[in-house]
Amino acid sequence: MPEVDDALRKERIEHAKACMDRVVETYKARMAFWTFLAVAMLTLTGVAVQNRKEEILYLAAFIPFFALFVELAIKYGYSTPFLYRAVRIEFELYGADATSLGLLCFAGKDRSEYEAILTETDEVERQYRFRRVYVFRAIVPKIAMCATGCILEILLAGLIK
């Protein structure tokens, strides 16, 4: 770790905090969006069952995959660049003791994987690998959850025919 004077260190820490604030705001927006679409799906399901309209159930079955697509787009395009900057700054200042590395690894990823990415010399490859790991780290359970919701809606549509 290169030596950094206190003024520069404080400035870089403030920049990392500002980046993390943006990441937190996008996380809250994603959770609100998922909640809104879950309520919309349940409402459409209720309307479809009450009115015996299977077309509405097919529309409701599409909602989970739409939500997943929007979440991936937000993570890929907006929150990952800010998270990368914050993690990179903390990693440069604190090394393996960076708080943000602990937060990233909370979801089951190995800390050494992120450390290997952050110590890579090529900046473009480092950003690409970080984005790929962060954006797609929990994609399989989310696809399974969306597929389950979709299948249940389609089965319900078959039952109310």
* Overall number of domains in the chain: 1
Model confidence at 106, in pLDDT bands (50, 70, 90)? low
Question: Whose structure tokens read 């309520």?
Answer: 39
Mean pLDDT of 104-123: 76
Q: Is the pLDDT of residue 110 over 80?
A: no
| Residue 56 covered by a domain | yes
Answer for the pair 135, 75: CB distance below 8 angstroms, yes or no.
Answer: yes
Tens of pLDDT, residues 132-149: 988 888 888 889 999 999
Provide CB contacts within 8 A for 76, sequence distance 6+. 131, 135
Say what the pTM is.
Answer: 0.80
Structural domain of 70: 6-159
DSSP 75: I
1 belongs to a structural domain: no
CA distances from 42 to 48, 79, 104 (A): 10, 28, 32
Q: What is the pLDDT, as a whole number, of residue 112? A: 72
Is residue 111's pLDDT more than 90?
Answer: no
